[in-house]
Amino acid sequence: MKRLVLLAAACALALPLHAKEIASVNGKSITEEQLNQFVALLVEQGAQDSPELREQVKQEMIHRLVAVHAAQKAGIDKRPAVEQELELARQGILVRALIADHLEKNPLSDEQIKAEYDKLKATQSDRKEYKVRHILVEDQKQAEDLLAQINAKKITFEDAAAKHSIDPGSGKNGGDLGWGPASNYVPEFAKAVESLKKGTTADKPVQSQFGWHVIRVEDERPVQFPPLEDVKPQLEELMRQQQVVDFQKKLVEDADIKQD
């Protein structure tokens, strides 16, 4: 019901001469057209049109009109604070309607979306992601000892991780962190990853806030950019947001604004 109350504030529609009256409050008509438009707003938000919904909306419209008449009779609508709030609400409705009108008149084309997608993809063309393993231990000496054993082939990297790593997520998987960009890791770790060639292990342990890491980069590849179909809805939303920003900026630039 709260949603009905909020939406009703935006449903003060002009009354056509031919409109069918479904109720009246103190001589003020509520029309079938007003009811239909109110219901349409709710349906757009996911409600199901039904006789029960229409009756609920009708009763809400009646109750609100009763309350509005009472407020007007008491002179509440003339209070400065109320007048200011009404004006702010009016401005908010007009701004939202203006923006919606602009977006409706300037729809994004598939060509625009594809061009933006290609531009974003191009910015990622030189980025890499890495398949990394690591062994995390608490102190430097243990990390150095493990690295020496691995280099001497006394133990495999995977077995050392499974037996000694205190990282519960990767340790049981032989230290495997999977694929990801270096930015996934803390700076010290990321710097070491980016400095290594694929198939190599860092020649010394790396310290981070979590402890000491023995790091191996098993492979690298260009960042896998998602297909357009997978990101199109999010990309469209970002582009619409930018449309709104640009539109509002143009309105301000074109307005005659004077400030002290």
For residues 4-26, average pLDDT? 59
Centre a 10 Å sphere on the Cβ of residue 92 and count the other Cβ atoms it contains. Answer: 11
Residues contacting residue 143 through CB under 8 Å, at least 6 positions apart: 135, 137, 205, 212, 213, 214
193-249 tens-digit pLDDT: 999 999 999 999 999 999 999 999 999 999 888 999 999 999 999 999 999 999 999
Q: Are residues 139 and 216 in the same domain?
A: yes
The CATH number of residue 60's host domain is 1.10.8.1040
Q: Using an 8 Å Cβ cutoff, are 156 and 250 in contact?
A: no
Give the dihedral of Cα atoms 234, 240, 243, 245; nearest 10 deg: -80
- The answer as to whether 260 is a domain residue is no
Residue 186 has pLDDT above 50, yes or no: yes
Q: Are residues 174 and 238 in the same domain?
A: no
- The answer as to whether 131 is a domain residue is yes
Q: In terms of pLDDT, which residue wins out, 17 or 94?
A: 94
pTM more than 0.75: no
Among residues 31, 42, 51, the alpha carbon closest in space to that of 8 is found at 42
Q: Are residues 180 and 232 in the same domain?
A: no
Among residues 60, 77, 56, the alpha carbon closest in space to that of 68 is found at 77
Q: Are residues 235 and 180 in the same domain?
A: no
Q: Are residues 215 and 234 in the same domain?
A: no
In the Cβ-directed half-sphere of 81, how many Cα atoms lie within 13 Å?
Answer: 1
> Residue 137 is encoded by which pair of tokens?
């231990």
> How far is it, in rounded angstroms, from Cα 9 to Cα 233?
31
- The answer as to whether 172 is a domain residue is yes
State the pLDDT at residue 18: 56
For residue 178, the cross-strand partners are 132
- The answer as to whether 132 is a domain residue is yes
- The answer as to whether 21 is a domain residue is yes
- The answer as to whether 190 is a domain residue is yes
pLDDT averaged over the chain? Answer: 91
Residue 12 has pLDDT above 70, yes or no: no
The CATH number of residue 164's host domain is 3.10.50.40
Among residues 152, 147, 185, 189, the alpha carbon closest in space to that of 164 is found at 147
- What would you measure as the largest C-alpha separation in the chain, in angstroms? 96
- The answer as to whether 98 is a domain residue is no
Task: Please state, for a pLDDT cut of 90, what percent of the chain lies above it.
Answer: 87
Q: Are residues 203 and 240 in the same domain?
A: no
- The answer as to whether 107 is a domain residue is no
Helices (H), 156-200: 157-164, 168-171, 187-195
Q: Are residues 24 and 62 in the same domain?
A: yes
Q: Using an 8 Å Cβ cutoff, are 26 and 73 in contact?
A: no
Query: What is the rounded end-to-end Cα distance, in angstroms, of the chain?
Result: 45
Q: Tell me how many domains the chain contains.
A: 3
> How far is it, in rounded angstroms, from Cα 167 to Cα 215?
13
Q: Are residues 141 and 180 in the same domain?
A: yes
Range of the domain at 47: 2-78
Among residues 57, 1, 2, 5, the alpha carbon closest in space to that of 31 is found at 57
Residues contacting residue 29 through CB under 8 Å, at least 6 positions apart: 15, 19, 21, 23
